[in-house]
Amino acid sequence: MTAQTPTFIHDFRQAAPYIHYLRGKKLVVAISSHVLLTEKLASLAADIQLLASLGVRLVLLHGSRQYLNRMVGAHGQSLNYHQGWRVTDEATLQLAKQASGLARFDLEAALSATPAQAPDRSAQTLQISSGNFLLAKPLGVLDGIDMGYTGRVRKVDVQAIEERLANGQVVLVSPLGHSLSGKSYNLGMDDVAQALAVSLKAEKLIFLSTESGLCDAQGEVISQMTSAEAETLLQTVPQKADVTRMLKAAVYVLEHGVRRAHIVSG
C-alpha cells in the first residue's frame, strides 16, 4: 500500500460507472492531423488502447491536412479553398493520398506499441482494421468553381465496420472515399465524422483538435451545452473555421440520434 492508494480508489470509484456505461458502446473519434504530429500522440494512443481493453467499440478517423500542407509546401505548390472546401485537382489528389497514408501509418504505429506498464509485454497488440468503408460522390461545382476530386460521403459500409467491431478490432478510417466508377475523392473530416456517427448509431462523436474547445462571447471555454444552444452560438459568436465545422457536425449528429458530441483539445 502507498499514500496514493486512497486517491486511486476514489478515482476508480468515480470512473467505474462510466466504464460500465461505455462497455459495448460505439464511439467515433475524429483526430486532427495537428494532434498526430505532436508529442501527445503516444499518450493518446495509450488512452485509446485502454478504452478498447475496457470493451468500448472504437471507430477512429484521422485527419491529414497538416501532412498535406507540408507536402504541398515541399513541392512549391499551394492549396485553393472555396466555401471552406479544398479544391482538389489531380496533382493535389495524389498528394492527399500520400498524406493520408502517412497519417494512417503514424497512428497505426502508435496504437501498436505495448504500454510500458503492461504486465505482459509479449501479449497480442491491438488489432486495427482499415478498408474501403466509404462510398463517395463528387462535390461538383460550387459558384461556378469545379471542386475537382473533392467529395462527400454517399454511404458508409455499416455491415463491414460492425463485423470488425464485433471481432474486437478498432476500425481506422481515412478521409478518402471511392465512387461507384472507381474514382477516389478527398473528403472533409467533419463530413466523414458525422456520416460515421449517424450511420453506426454511435453513442458519442468526439473531435480531438488543437483548439481548447468552444468559446462564448467573452472568450471563455464552454463546458457543455444543448444542440439548440450550439446553433445559437453559431449564429451569434464567431468561432475559428475548424471549430465552426466541428460544431455544425456535432449539432447534426445530435439531431440524428447520437446522444452526445464532444469537441476537446487533443
Q: Which amino acid is at 124?
A: Q
Q: Is residue 256 part of a domain?
A: no
**Model pLDDT for residues 20-71, shown as the tens digit of each residue:** 667 889 999 999 999 999 888 999 999 999 999 999 999 999 999 999 999 8
Q: Is residue 255 part of a domain?
A: no
Contact 137, 97 (CB under 8 A): no
In the block, which residue shows the cell 465496420?
161
Q: Is residue 36 part of a domain?
A: yes
Q: Is residue 208 part of a domain?
A: yes
Closest by Cα among 89, 200, 188 to 155: 200
**Model pLDDT for residues 228-261, shown as the tens digit of each residue:** 888 888 788 777 778 888 889 999 999 999 999 9
Domain that holds residue 98: 25-113+124-212+261-265
Q: How many angstroms separate the Cα of 184 from the Cα of each of 100, 119, 177, 200, 223?
A: 12, 43, 6, 23, 38
Q: Is residue 206 part of a domain?
A: yes
Q: Is residue 77 part of a domain?
A: yes
Q: Is residue 169 part of a domain?
A: yes
Q: Which three cell numbers stand for residue 143?
A: 459558384
142: domain CATH number? 3.40.1160.10
Closest by Cα among 147, 136, 264, 150 to 195: 136
Q: How many domains does the chain have?
A: 1
**Model pLDDT for residues 60-107, shown as the tens digit of each residue:** 999 999 999 998 888 777 788 888 788 899 999 999 999 999 999 999
**Model pLDDT for residues 181-228, shown as the tens digit of each residue:** 999 999 999 999 999 999 999 999 999 988 777 777 777 788 888 888
Closest by Cα among 92, 63, 58 to 75: 92
Q: Is residue 93 part of a domain?
A: yes
Contact 185, 174 (CB under 8 A): no
Contacting residues for 31 by C-beta, under 8 A, at least 6 apart? 44, 60, 61, 62, 63, 107, 208, 266
